[in-house]
Structure 1
Amino acid sequence: MNAPVEPTVAACGCDSHAHKLTPLDVAIERGLELASAVDDVEDVALTDAIGRVLAFDATSPIPLPPFDNSAMDGYLVQTADLAGDGPWTLQVIGRIAAGDAGQDKPQSGTALRILTGAPVPAGFDAVVMQEDCEVLGDTITFSRKPAVGQHIRPSGGDAAKGQVVVPAGAEIGARQTGALAAIGAGTVKVRRKVRVAIFSTGSELVQPGDPLGAGQIWNSNRYTLLSLLKKDWIEVVDLGAIPDKPDLLKAALVNACATCDMVITTGGVSVGDEDHMPRLFEEAGGKMQVMKVAIKPGKPIAFGTLDRAIFVGLPGNPVSAFVTWMVIGAPVLEKRAGLMARRAGRMLVRAAGDAKRRPGRIEFRPARYVDNPLTETSEVELMSPEFSGRVALLSLADGLAVIPAECEGVSKGDVLEFIPL
């Protein structure tokens, strides 16, 4: 069980508690530098590998397909027999279906009936579609001369012997499972599940289903995180909610960091009287790498290392916790799990209206699609600028509009990056 790596970037000076805002790209870089992939590998049946992380490149032991085969139903011919301009009439001397063995070398001037997927015997070099043939008894007549290789899938045309079919670090889904089956992989080597502990902090938190007392709220962050972490490559250790009592918080933090690959908390990372997590983390021997990021929402986010774990302290505001996890935390966890770097699922959209803002931090604002009847296209409407704690608003959003840090406002028609949710 490997521990997170020590970063090569300069320490953030977290022990001074005089934190400047870390640029978002720097924060992500520091987080990724902390994350080394878990080492342990498991052999699992292919049917049990779905959703897991492939540990090593999967290469094909044979060419794919392993033999030349027909791409459609028709008739195998030898193009050398087709002299002149046609039409041509050939005798059909046999039939080959998928799963049949190959046949002897063909006689000149003959054809074979062939079905899709059937092997192409040596000597034949084209398939004439059955729709292009007139069949009379045991002969066919056709007028369109086929090109060499027409409608034949060549051996190795999909993948050569030894070619990587599924790369290490892939999350095994339906497409990858099909490719692994095609190369005969009955068992697959996958990385062990990354072990992630989560707990919410706050004496005001009550679990959904329990009655609320004065000054209490239902704990939404716990369930948001449980949903975000519901992956087959993650083992979640759910520690629930812990009240703002330093001894309880520190004990939970220390125990979780000793047994997990990542520990995620929500709340307690700002500057209030009950925000204990940064101090407790450092008292336990943790090395903080980031405190406060130039991002909206979610400025008070912290992460570092303690024992074998990467610590990610998310803000307590629900939208802030969601955004900072999606933008910063998730890529770090994916690298810890051994997943290959993924392209961000972002697209370009046009703003449906104007929106003012204060520049200085990159902003990820909830937005929703609206139809523009004049252009018959969809645009995005930026939702309320005060949204960090509005979980109901987030549930109505179609995605997050990305507003650059230096931008003083958005005008109708401006092109924005957009992260669909």
Structure 2
Amino acid sequence: MTDSNKPSDCCMDATDSSISAGDALKMIMARVRPVDGIEAAPLRNALGRVLGRPIASPINVPAYRNSAMDGYALFGKDIPTEGTHRLKVVGSAFAGQPYQGELNRGECIRIMTGAKVPEAADTVIMQEWVERDGDTAIIDPRTKPGANVRQAGEDIQADAVILREGDEIGPAQLGLLASLGIPEVAVRRRVRVAFFSSGDEIRSIGQPLEEGQIYDSNRYTLFGMLTELGADAIDMGVIPDRADAIQEAMTQAAGEADLVLTSGGISVGEADFIAEAIQQLGEVHFSKVAIKPGRPLTFAHIGNACFFGLPGNPVAVMITFLQFARPAIQRLQGKFERLSPTLRVKAGSPLRKLPGRTEFQRGILSLDDAGELVVKSSGRQGSGVLSSMSSGNCLIRLSDETGNVQAGDLVEVQPFDLLRH
């Protein structure tokens, strides 16, 4: 039995003041508002940014009627109802080089994919269905009038809204904007997030370790997750376990940032000064959530800045960030809200859990021999076992009322890549 499955760690005390994971998230989203400030970003610098205003297309796409394939452009009325019919080939059209003459009944032109269809023509017959005989094209009834012609504005009509306020700009959106000739876009300013670790046992990498000390991994984990979200990360380092130092750091962070993150020092203990500082400086909304790992999670406000006091254990830091801080940052960014993607898959092995709180176990999602998705535990589930996050590729979310899970039972899975993006 691993440390994460001991009954004493799973049972909830009748006097426990923790709120549920669902209630915690609702409270967070009700108290967070998008940041003010919109700036112009050149298109190449807009990747990962969030639109501050909707964008309407300045042009039709396609801008003109064009051919959907290589073939022959003609009048649909010239297509025979039976047998074959001969048309005179009077010219050709290429993409960027339209046919300049006038097309009459009984005539056609050779046309390439994307080329402008002559105004009088309404149909394109693909080249495989046309027989050439010198300057004559022999056609049959297989093509219906109007076929293989893309109409102007068929994809996007001029003045139609193509991207909404709050949409994130990814590679596809960059290409779409470029196809419309849009050189820059209005985006929300980056959300500023200040973060630090606390604890006299914590050392930054590059410093020698003395007895009882550990290297600070949490700041690097937080930096990575904040960078993936496109936030402006303000790393304040490791703050000593002194009440004055903690209070000064939190005051400075709240003055500079839209959101403050701390890791460690949030429990009620002799040397845990963050809980004391937040009580003095801000308004606490909750300080415990009924989840595992990550129960000692605080959400508060210091002035206008949101505050999350994350646990000190590395896995608990990642899970509480992904489940609670990440949605808050996305709300601050003004992102258009979408449902979090989850999967329902079969458990490939038994999972131990006692009812009482929502639990996030690290798992490995893969295909079984039948080609179906299955999830297995990634190993030891202790909140300090960061390797279980590194070797896993998903979180297995087990609800409050769920008990032990048997192999073959359906469970809810949150793949890491979908969580992060």
TM-score, normalising length from structure 2?
0.91
Deviates more, 1:75-84 or 1:94-103: 94-103
- Does residue 263 of structure 2 align to residue 281 of structure 1? no
Residue-by-residue CA offset, 1:102-160 (whole Å, 9 max, x unaligned): 64552001111111111112221111111222222111123343223311111111112
Secondary structure of the residue aligned to 2:103 is coil
Give the match for residue 332 of structure 2: 336
8 Å contact 2:197–2:218 — kept in the other structure? yes
8 Å contact 1:37–1:336 — kept in the other structure? yes
Match of 1:372 among 368, 371, 381: 368
Secondary structure of the residue aligned to 2:40 is strand
Give the match for residue 295 of structure 1: 291
CA distance change for structure 1 residues 71 and 25 in 2, over 3 Å: closer, same or farther? same
Residue-by-residue CA offset, 1:1-42 (whole Å, 9 max, x unaligned): xxxxxxxxxxxxxxxxx9711111111111112221112111
Give the match for residue 10 of structure 2: none
Structure 2 unmatched ranges of 5 or more: 1-14, 417-421
Secondary structure of the residue aligned to 1:255 is helix
Deviates more, 1:98-107 or 1:170-179: 98-107
Give the match for residue 390 of structure 1: 385
Deviation at 1:385, TM superposition (A): 6.2
Letter in 1 for 2:290: A
CA distance change for structure 1 residues 369 and 84 in 2, over 3 Å: closer, same or farther? closer
8 Å contact 1:58–1:180 — kept in the other structure? no
Give the match for residue 139 of structure 1: 136
Give the match for residue 324 of structure 1: 320
Give the match for residue 420 of structure 1: 415
Residue-by-residue CA offset, 1:251-300 (whole Å, 9 max, x unaligned): 0101110111111111111222222212201212x011121111111111
8 Å contact 2:378–2:391 — kept in the other structure? no
1:232 & 1:126 partners in 2: Cα distance?
Answer: 48
- CA RMSD in angstroms comes to 1.7
8 Å contact 2:264–2:311 — kept in the other structure? yes
CA distance change for structure 1 residues 332 and 232 in 2, over 3 Å: closer, same or farther? closer
What is the correspondence of 1:57-96 to structure 2 with a 5 Å cutoff? 57-96=54-93
Match of 2:196 among 165, 174, 199: 199
Letter in 1 for 2:413: F
Secondary structure of the residue aligned to 1:393 is helix
Identity of aligned residues (%): 36
Give the match for residue 208 of structure 2: 211
Secondary structure of the residue aligned to 1:395 is helix
Letter in 2 for 1:129: M
Deviation at 1:376, TM superposition (A): 4.1
Match of 1:160 among 157, 179, 204: 157
1:415 & 1:220 partners in 2: Cα distance?
Answer: 34
1:385 & 1:141 partners in 2: Cα distance?
Answer: 73
Letter in 2 for 1:258: G
Letter in 2 for 1:395: S
CA distance change for structure 1 residues 44 and 211 in 2, over 3 Å: closer, same or farther? same
